[in-house]
């Protein structure tokens, strides 16, 4: 009999196919667009002295989640798998083309992590400045992990972290989707958020 945790995991189990990239990208964009446009006033049920903290925490969490889903969309659109192999003895190593694996070889309950996908991205998509893109994704990963695990009263604001993520996303949209992205996550005082995707 499966454990409670396994029973819940089984509800979401799926070996993802290339065609699933559109849903991953759509949900990624919803998270990223919300992060770009979120304001303190969105948190009316939160005490005024906590609105900025909650807004910033939520923005960073959404950025991290959006980045992971977008990266998985990139892999799937390019014909690569995101599910881990059922057994490491099968010799299936990231990145691998979905067409190269047989049915039943991939684990429907487990996908590769954001860190693993980021580390192999240069083998999937050609970028003019790949390290530039990887740095932005790594910062997004730190944001997601930090906001998902701890709460801090404050931290040193470094605008270059957000610029790096924005620049990475612009490159991903251009090179992986042939789309032009305009994005600004608006953390600084008076800064306006922006999210626009165009062909």
pLDDT tens sequence for the chain (199 residues): 889 998 898 899 999 999 999 999 999 999 999 999 999 988 989 999 999 999 999 999 999 999 999 999 999 999 999 999 999 888 899 999 999 999 999 999 999 999 999 999 999 999 999 999 999 999 999 999 999 999 988 878 888 999 999 999 999 999 999 999 999 998 888 889 999 999 8
Q: Are 186 and 193 in contact (CB under 8 A)?
A: yes
Residue 103 is given by DSSP the state T
What's phi and psi for 195, nearest 5 deg?
Answer: -150, 110
Give this prediction's pTM.
Answer: 0.95
Q: Are 25 and 9 in contact (CB under 8 A)?
A: no
CB neighbour list of residue 20: distance below 8 Å, 6 or more residues apart: 76
CA nearest to 37, candidates 57, 64, 55, 54: 55
């Amino acid at each position: 009999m499966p454990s409670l945790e396994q029973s819940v995991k089984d509800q979401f189990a799926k070996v993802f196919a290339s065609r699933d990239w559109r849903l991953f990208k759509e949900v990624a964009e919803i998270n990223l667009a919300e992060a770009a446009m979120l304001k303190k006033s969105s948190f009316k049920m939160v005490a005024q002295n906590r609105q900025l903290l909650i807004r910033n925490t939520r923005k960073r969490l959404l950025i991290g989640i959006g980045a992971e889903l977008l990266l998985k969309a990139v892999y799937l659109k390019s014909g690569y798998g995101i599910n881990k192999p059922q057994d490491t003895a099968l010799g299936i190593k990231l990145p691998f083309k979905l067409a190269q694996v047989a049915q039943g070889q991939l684990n429907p309950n487990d996908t590769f992590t954001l860190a693993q996908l980021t580390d192999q991205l240069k083998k999937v998509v050609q970028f003019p400045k790949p390290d530039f893109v990887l740095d932005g994704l790594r910062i997004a990963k730190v944001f997601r992990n930090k906001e998902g695990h701890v709460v801090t009263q404050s931290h040193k604001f470094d605008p270059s972290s957000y610029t790096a993520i924005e620049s990475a996303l612009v490159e991903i949209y251009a090179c992986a989707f042939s789309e032009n992205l305009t994005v600004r996550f608006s953390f600084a005082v008076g800064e306006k958020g922006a999210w626009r995707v165009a062909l």
